[in-house]
Amino acid sequence: MDTLISVVLPLGLAFIMFSLGVGLTLGDFLRVGQRPLAFAVGALNQVILLPLVVYLIILAFGLQAEIAVGFMILAACPGGVTSNIISRLAKGDVALSVSLTAVISLTSMITVPLIMSFAVATFMGANAPEVDITATAVTMFALTVVPIMLGLGLRRLFPTAMSRAEPAISRIAVILFAAIVLAALAGNWGLFVENLPSIGPAVLAMLVVLTAVGYTVPRLLGRTRNEAKTISIETGVQNGTLGIAIASIVVGSTDGFSPYGLPSAVYGLAMYLTIIPALFIFRRMD
């Protein structure tokens, strides 16, 4: 189990982030300057409103200790490749989706340590494990920024070869995502069953509220329907694999997968219960 957590889990996450980088180009970053308002609204939703909403849900459902910290870790995680695919299926603004995913994923090396440190101090109290913000930032850099930039670099150097390889790389990433989620649930099965009555409704509430808020806020701020759909998806879809990895690698566990990763694991399965209905609603808008 130690080898699974210390070797297989980080390598699996690194490959998933690498698959994100393979699908990116420098234009995805430059596009931020061309559409600053739409990007700013999307970033506001993800970096500020998302953790705030999750914090309020934690209080509303009375979640305690490790589970509450796990929810905040999930809230700190950026979206993944899945959000780009869903945006395309929802007839949203795919270019905006890719730009948000790219930039927020890179800035997660700063936002994740800060939010996680706040959550541990707030919900764990005297039992809080020590969280080294600098070490966490370095770990986030190694797990997210390095593989993303590697994939981006290979895409730039070998565009034809990487374009051909991208579908296979994406399929492998999906398989790794499913394997990590299932392994995290299996490693904490007793704790999962015990806390499911509280974790399940809280996760579903989080998904519904974030998807609704993610659409409503940009519309109130004058953004187009397609931009609002995309920002809603980017706000509601988080990188659950990253949440599990942070919980297991950074926060740590003495025996198997960390219980801090349970919300991310449950989220990885429950996400589709709300995203798929939202997808059909977004498509009917057109």
Q: What is the pLDDT of residues 59-79, one digit of tens each?
A: 999 988 888 999 999 998 887
Residue pair 261/185 in contact by the 8 Å Cβ criterion: no
Higher pLDDT, 264 or 251: 264
Percent of the chain, pLDDT > 70?
92
For domain 2-284, say whether CATH 3.30.70.360 is its number.
no
Could you tell me the pLDDT band of residue 144, with boundaries at 50, 70 and 90? confident
pTM of the model: 0.84
Residue 283: count other Cβ atoms within 10 Å of its Cβ: 13
In the DSSP assignment, the letter for residue 77 is S
Which amino acid, one-letter code, is at 210? L
The distance of Cα 89 from the centroid of its chain, to the nearest Å, equals 19
Q: Is 26 exposed, middle or buried (0-12, 13-18, 19+ CB in 10 A)?
A: exposed
According to the model, what pLDDT value does residue 285 have?
78
pLDDT over 90 at 220, yes or no: yes
According to the model, what pLDDT value does residue 4 have?
54
Rounded Cα distance, 64 and 69, in Å = 8
pLDDT over 80 at 147, yes or no: yes
Q: Which strand (E) or helix (H) includes residue 10?
A: helix 9-22
Residue 40 backbone phi and psi in degrees, to 5: -60, -40
Residue pair 9/265 in contact by the 8 Å Cβ criterion: no
Each residue of 165-192: pLDDT tens digit?
A: 888 888 888 788 777 777 777 776 777 7
For residue 261, which of 66, 52, 122 has the smallest C-alpha distance? 66
According to the model, what pLDDT value does residue 78 have?
82
Rounded Cα distance, 181 and 201, in Å = 18
Could you tell me the pLDDT band of residue 51, with boundaries at 50, 70 and 90? very high
Residue 62 backbone phi and psi in degrees, to 5: 65, 35
Q: Is 122 exposed, middle or buried (0-12, 13-18, 19+ CB in 10 A)?
A: middle
In the DSSP assignment, the letter for residue 79 is P
Q: How many residues make up the chain in this entry?
A: 286
Rounded Cα distance, 13 and 58, in Å = 27
For residue 269, which of 207, 190, 224 has the smallest C-alpha distance? 207
Instruction: Write down the domain spans for the chain.
Output: 2-284
